[in-house]
């Protein structure tokens, strides 16, 4: 047996199947860097004492029991692509890297469901499904693990049509803090709907590893649409772009994606990708369906956008041209970074009722200018959700401070408009104080009591959410 001693926590001994730093070709340094890839500019790196790579739920359970006995914090780790510091080990302890559990299990094509282990990413699942005519549409941008996406209640560009993780997880296998194995909807169950008892599945979706380690997720799948058409349209104002969005939704157009980029973002994308889009508020739209239905969707949408002063559509149907058209949107992160070479980026995340989007975006752009900050805006406008891609020099403490204050003001602006401080990135480390303002002391108290019920020793990803 190969034993590992966990420093700083009374010398707990972990069994052989816990590959540790340096073993198995993955160094602790790599794992830690992985954990802090995208958000290190905002949330400082806090490495765990040890990293383990369990290969099965039995191993996760056995490890959790050891951690429970020795009061070691457990930090679940999927792909480390989260944006609010959710995988930082603020109290040390054991990082459970779940990448070795990467099997796609139990695909049921006729029932439109599949079960995956926590190391399976969304792109890996969609590759696996390629010949089935099915796909999993939730797309947060990064190639995140699906259980990580469930843990953070992720969504992204397709949510306006297909929903977020909340609507698309049917069942979860979870290792609780004491190492017991829970099936939130009962083992192996996969009805498309149920009203059997408390909705434990949706208690764990969005719990960010603070209530248990997700070791399996059963997901809804969808038929791949016969055709997809993408269009781009620029507008004279933010208001005109948002009005178009509301009218498209009111007209019942089953739009698959409707993404907003502001003038600063469009300028950055033009420069980065050698494009020549108008430098003005712009919508990127995607329609899914059959040929006739697409024709009609596009016609009605074009009428609506023209009525709001929108430009003629640039549009594309084949995969390659669609790819080119969406290049600006897909490269937004890198285009933003390229605005200031050598800097880091941090994506904010707020969501408000759609009609209040023009107001908050105009106010926010003013705030950015006044505070000399670089923050091009991109948003899932159909949901009222948008991000400022803050580009900052992490070695400039004054700028770091200004970005921090700006993101807090932005979140409070969203709260003052009946919105949320996080539409899809989660609370993690960064938004705990804002969460308290958002839901109020009683809801926080209820959340704390739920947490204490399921994890009385506060071992599961401590210091996050609450």
Say how many CA atoms lie within 13 Å of 188 toward its Cβ.
0
Q: Which residues are CB-neighbours of 350 under 8 A, at least 6 positions away?
A: 360, 385, 386, 410, 411, 413, 414, 419, 420, 421, 422, 423
Residue 453 makes contact with a second copy by CB under 8 A: yes
Q: Please report how close the Cβ of residue 152 comes to a second copy at its closest, in angstroms.
A: 6
Q: Please report how close the Cβ of residue 177 comes to a second copy at its closest, in angstroms.
A: 12
Binding marks (x or -) toward a second copy, 191..210, rule CB under 8 A?
xxxxxxxxxx-xx-xxx---
Q: How many residues bind a second copy (CB under 8 A)?
A: 101
| Consecutive H or E run containing 13 | strand 12-14
Which residue number, 387 or 451, has a Cβ lying nearer to a second copy? 451
How many angstroms separate the CA atoms of 447 and 438, rounded?
13
Torsion of CA 81, 285, 304, 359, to 10 degrees: 20
Residue 358 makes contact with a second copy by CB under 8 A: no
Say how many CA atoms lie within 13 Å of 82 toward its Cβ.
33
Identify the residue among 107, 124, 249, 279 touching a second copy (CB under 8 A).
249
Q: Please report how close the Cβ of residue 295 comes to a second copy at its closest, in angstroms.
A: 7
Residue 443 makes contact with a second copy by CB under 8 A: yes
H helix runs in 309-352, sequence order:
319-330, 332-338
Q: Please report how close the Cβ of residue 93 comes to a second copy at its closest, in angstroms.
A: 22
Name the percent of the chain in helix, strand, coil, to the closest 5: 40, 20, 40
Binding marks (x or -) toward a second copy, 272..291, rule CB under 8 A?
----------------xxx-
| Consecutive H or E run containing 21 | none
Give which of 224, 191, 220 is closest to 205, Cα–Cα.
220
How many angstroms separate the CA atoms of 203 and 450, rounded?
10
Residue 307 makes contact with a second copy by CB under 8 A: no
Residue 163 makes contact with a second copy by CB under 8 A: yes
Identify the residue among 182, 278, 279, 338 touching a second copy (CB under 8 A).
182
Interacting span for a second copy (CB under 8 A) from 25-33, 87-95, 157-165, 394-402: 157-165
Interacting span for a second copy (CB under 8 A) from 68-76, 183-191, 315-323, 364-372: 183-191
Q: Is 133 exposed, middle or buried (0-12, 13-18, 19+ CB in 10 A)?
A: exposed
Give the gyration radius of the chain's Cα atoms. Answer: 22
Task: Tell me if 46 sits within 8 A of 75, measured CB to CB.
Answer: no
User: Strands 350-351 and 314-316: what pairing?
Assistant: unpaired
User: Strands 377-380 and 385-392: what pairing?
Assistant: antiparallel
Sole residue written with tokens 């041209």: 321
Interacting span for a second copy (CB under 8 A) from 42-50, 216-224, 322-330, 364-372: 216-224
| Residue list 404-423, contact with a second copy (CB under 8 A) | 414-415, 418-423
Q: Please report how close the Cβ of residue 356 comes to a second copy at its closest, in angstroms.
A: 8
Residue 190 makes contact with a second copy by CB under 8 A: yes
Residue 112 makes contact with a second copy by CB under 8 A: yes
Q: Please report how close the Cβ of residue 25 comes to a second copy at its closest, in angstroms.
A: 34
Identify the residue among 31, 427, 429, 459 touching a second copy (CB under 8 A).
427
Which residue number, 88 or 382, has a Cβ lying nearer to a second copy? 382
Residue 25 makes contact with a second copy by CB under 8 A: no
| Residue list 308-337, contact with a second copy (CB under 8 A) | none
Residue 223 makes contact with a second copy by CB under 8 A: yes
Residue 183 makes contact with a second copy by CB under 8 A: yes
Give which of 181, 81, 63 is closest to 122, Cα–Cα.
81
| Residue list 133-152, contact with a second copy (CB under 8 A) | 133, 152
Residue 246 makes contact with a second copy by CB under 8 A: yes
Residue 372 makes contact with a second copy by CB under 8 A: no
How many angstroms separate the CA atoms of 19 and 140, rounded?
30
């Amino acid at each position: 047996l190969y034993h590992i001693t966990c420093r700083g926590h009374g010398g707990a001994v972990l069994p052989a199947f816990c590959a540790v730093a340096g073993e198995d070709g993955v160094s602790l340094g790599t794992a830690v860097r992985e954990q802090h890839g995208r958000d290190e500019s905002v949330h400082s790196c806090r490495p765990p004492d040890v990293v383990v790579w369990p290969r099965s739920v039995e191993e996760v359970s056995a490890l959790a029991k050891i951690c429970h006995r020795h009061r070691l914090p457990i930090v679940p780790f999927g792909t480390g692509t989260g944006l609010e510091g959710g995988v930082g080990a603020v109290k040390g302890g054991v990082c459970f890297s779940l990448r070795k559990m990467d099997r796609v299990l139990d695909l049921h094509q006729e029932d439109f469901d599949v079960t995956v282990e926590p190391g399976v990413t969304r792109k890996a699942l969609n590759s696996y499904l390629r010949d089935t005519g099915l796909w999993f549409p939730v797309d947060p941008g990064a190639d995140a693990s699906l259980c990580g996406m469930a843990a953070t209640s992720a969504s992204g560009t397709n949510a306006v049509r297909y929903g977020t993780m909340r609507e698309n997880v049917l069942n979860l296998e979870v290792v609780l803090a004491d190492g017991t194995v829970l099936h939130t909807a009962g083992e192996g169950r996969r009805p498309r709907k149920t009203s059997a008892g408390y909705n434990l599945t949706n208690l764990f979706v969005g719990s960010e590893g603070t209530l248990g380690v997700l070791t399996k997720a059963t997901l809804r799948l969808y038929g791949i649409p016969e055709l997809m058409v993408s269009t781009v349209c620029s507008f004279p104002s933010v208001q005109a772009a948002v009005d178009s969005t509301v009218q498209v939704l009111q007209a019942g157009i089953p739009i698959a994606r409707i993404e907003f980029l502001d003038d600063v973002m469009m300028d950055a994308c033009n420069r980065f990708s050698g494009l020549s889009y108008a430098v003005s508020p712009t919508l990127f739209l995607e329609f899914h369906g059959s040929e006739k239905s697409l024709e009609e969707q596009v016609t009605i949408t074009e009428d609506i956008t023209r009525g709001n002063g929108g430009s003629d559509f640039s549009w594309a149907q084949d995969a390659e041209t669609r790819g080119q058209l969406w290049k600006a949107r897909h490269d937004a992160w890198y285009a933003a970074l390229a605005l200031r070479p050598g800097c880091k980026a941090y994506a904010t995340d707020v969501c408000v009722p759609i009609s209040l989007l023009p107001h908050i975006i105009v106010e926010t752009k003013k705030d950015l200018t006044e505070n000399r900050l670089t923050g091009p805006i991109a948003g899932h406008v159909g949901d009222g959700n948008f991000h400022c891609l803050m580009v900052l020099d992490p070695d400039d403490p004054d700028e770091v401070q200004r970005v921090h204050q700006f993101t807090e003001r932005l979140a409070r602006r969203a709260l003052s408009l009946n919105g949320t401080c996080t539409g899809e990135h989660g609370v993690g480390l960064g938004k705990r104080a804002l969460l308290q303002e958002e839901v109020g002391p009683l809801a926080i108290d209820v959340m704390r009591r739920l947490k204490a019920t399921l994890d009385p020793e506060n071992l599961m990803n401590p210091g996050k959410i609450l």
